[in-house]
Amino acid sequence: MAGDATDGRLTSLRSVADGASLHFLGTVIVNGLGFLLNLVLTRTLGASVYGIYAYGTMVIASVLTFANFGTDVSATRYLSGNLGRRSYQNRILGLAYATTVAVSVVVSVGLFLAAPRINAYTLEEPLFTPAMQVFAIALPFQALTHVASSTVRGLELPVEKTVILLAGPTFQLLAIVAAVAVGYSVIGVAAAYAVACLLAFLFALVYSLRRTGLRPSWEFRRAEAVDFYDYSAPLTLSKASSFLFKRVDVFMVGIFLLAADVGVYNVAVLLAGIVAMPLGGINQLFPPVASRLHADGDRATLETVYATVTRWSITASVIIALPLFLYREPVLAVFGPEFVVGGSVVALFVLGQLFNAAAGPANDLLTMTDHQYAVMTNHVVFGLLNVVLNYLLILQLGLVGAAVATAGVLAGLNVVRVIEVWYFEGLVPYTTELWKPVVATGVAGAAMTALAGVLDGYVLVIVGATVGGCAFVLSLAAFGVAEQDRELARDYLDLV
């Protein structure tokens, strides 16, 4: 029995590790592509016109939560929890695609018609309305791409998930750089963005169907649909509310401040978001693994996996956070001197993202253990709180006020998520092994701070990040490798 438990734990950890490592690699590439894209746009369009592009894509990302109607997460849950039931999986996939098409088209048309009013209440820029209308056309393709991605995610296929992850940013970079190269401004860039979204969806659809062997079935069964929508409906409100604590700050900066401020703020937020990359990787295959273990009633393995991947999230995130926090102004200078004023925003969001990393996959664990209504309540309450705090603090502190509000809400929300997982499921993500990355962070931070006294500019960023990374890794090695990590390493070596 003990051997079976060990095998189950290793299998689950390996599935998450495979997904995390591949997604992390993919995310590094995606962020590299995104960095190049934003660098091209900021350098060619300037802060004000780039702010129009950034604001438009932010609006699209916000309404995307409605356009999916929770079908992407629902597909992951029901596909992973019903392995071997091919007919059922095909019906679920058909339900997900049909729902997404219907809802996303309605939302897209509404956004297209509302573009002039959005502009009137926010940026008041002549170019924003036509650009926003072009972005609206791209919305259904993005929503459908998420369903294709969730198909391979639900079947725990990390390679396929990573390939689809890379498709969108690759098409966007190629199309938008081509548009800029021939002299188009923000309208042409928006059109290139829409074309890239169409190409990404067509690729994701064909690729996911070929790799999984699933075929959407249009056979309707009322009981299955009721169960599906009972799960997806609260997730829709939950994800829509998550916009209020994730991106409403950018929206409100556009209302109360200038387009140039939106550009600066958006770059700062994107940089700090790099800290979330390790957790993003873990969250690719942790949800289907958690759903499977929860369905099997294997709580011991679920807690071990939860604690282990949370430690991974913390360990990997802090070494990314250190150079961004300590060297934020030289990093921002890469985008142009006008972006350096976002240094305080980067610092605050890095701290907020560290709370996110420290909570591990707590939110996904709540979702996959049938606590979707608790997740919905969290997002509504903290989302509304973020709106109120942003309104009060932006008027007083400008960009820094927006960052204080949103980073603080993100930190508080993640504390609540961890408490809820403990309360509802009795699972705790923290072990005594956590002292190792904490102390290693102190060693690396001291080394990087010392270098700041003798170096500056890009040299400081490159040398400091390298020295800090080496100090962090060597410290962890000196403290000893955790037992779960040794078991996983031996399992990988046995399969080589």
Could you tell me which residues come within 8 angstroms of residue 160 by beta carbon, excluding any fewer than 6 positions away?
152, 207, 208, 211, 212
122 or 244, which is more confident: 122
Mean pLDDT of 15-42: 75
Tell me the residue range of the domain where 366 lies. 2-430
- pLDDT score for 14: 67
Give ∠ CA 142-185-187 in degrees, rounded to 5: 45
Q: What is the mean pLDDT of residues 15-38?
A: 73
pLDDT of 443 higher than 90: yes
In this predicted structure, the answer to whether residue 311 has a pLDDT above a threshold of 70 is yes
**Residue 122 resides in a domain:** yes
Give the mean pLDDT of 419-432: 94
Which range has the worst mean pLDDT, 61-65, 354-358, 399-403?
61-65
pLDDT at residue number 25: 73
d(CA 50, CA 263): 6
Q: How many domains does the chain have?
A: 1
Question: What is the residue whose two structure tokens read 């200078």?
Answer: 333
Distances (CA, A) of 134 to 112, 115, 184, 263, 400: 8, 10, 14, 20, 31
- Show Cβ contacts of residue 190 under 8 Å, excluding neighbours closer than 6 positions: 53, 56, 130, 131, 132, 134, 135
pLDDT of 241 > 80? The answer is no
239-264 average pLDDT score: 81
**C-alpha closest to that of 135 among 50, 192, 184:** 192
Q: How far is CA 493 from CA 474, 487, 496, in A?
A: 22, 10, 5
Q: Which of 135, 133, 134, 142 is nearest to 197 (CA)?
A: 142
Please tell me the predicted confidence (pLDDT) of residue 7. 56
**237 pLDDT exceeds 90?**
no
How far is the C-alpha of 244 from the C-alpha of 384, rounded, in Å? 7
Please determine, for residue 493, whether its predicted confidence score (pLDDT) is greater than 50: no
Q: Return the exposure string of 149-176: e unless at least 16 CB atoms fall within 10 Å of the residue's CB, then b.
A: bbbbbbbbbbebbbbbbbbbbbbbbbbb
Query: Angle at the Cα of 421 (from 416 to 425), degrees rounded to 5?
Result: 155
Q: Give me the residue label for tokens 């969001």.
A: 349
Helix, strand, coil share of the chain (percent; to 5) = 90, 0, 10
Q: Residue 435 is which amino acid?
A: W
Q: What is the pLDDT of residue 286?
A: 81
Q: Which amino acid is at 418?
A: V
Mean pLDDT of 360-389: 91
Q: Looking at the predicted structure, is the pLDDT value of residue 400 above 90?
A: yes
Note the pLDDT of residue 293: 83
- CA-to-CA distance for 28 and 22, rounded, in angstroms? 10
At residue 136, the pLDDT reads 97
What's the mean per-residue pLDDT of the chain?
88
Q: How far does Cα 265 stand from its chain's mean position?
A: 18
Question: Which of the listed ranges 40-54, 252-266, 336-350 does the model predict with the highest average pLDDT?
Answer: 336-350
Question: How far does the chain reach from its first CA to its final CA, in angstroms?
Answer: 26
- What is the percent of the chain with per-residue pLDDT over 70, rounded to a whole number? 92
pLDDT score, position 203: 97
Residue 450 lies in a domain: no
The 10 Å Cβ neighbour count of residue 477 is 11
The tens digit of pLDDT for each residue in 34-53 reads 888 888 888 888 878 888 99
- Report pLDDT digits (tens) over 168-200: 999 999 999 999 999 888 999 999 999 999 999
Please tell me the distance from the alpha carbon of residue 24 to that of residue 227, in angstroms, as a whole number: 33
Give the tens place of pLDDT for each residue, 264-282: 898 899 899 889 888 887 7
Look at residue 480 and tell me if it is in a domain: no
Q: Does residue 496 carry a pLDDT above 50?
A: no
Do residues 368 and 294 lie in contact, with contact meaning Cβ atoms separated by under 8 Å? yes
Percent of the chain residues topping a pLDDT of 90 = 53
**What is the rounded average pLDDT of the residues 285-308?**
83
Dihedral-angle region of residue 316 (phi above 0 means left; psi in -120 to 50 means alpha; beta otherwise): alpha
pLDDT value at residue 78: 87
Is 457 within the bounds of a domain? no
Could you tell me the pTM of the whole model? 0.72
Instruction: Read off the pLDDT band of 315 (50, 70, 90).
Output: very high
Residue 248 banded pLDDT, cuts 50, 70, 90:
confident
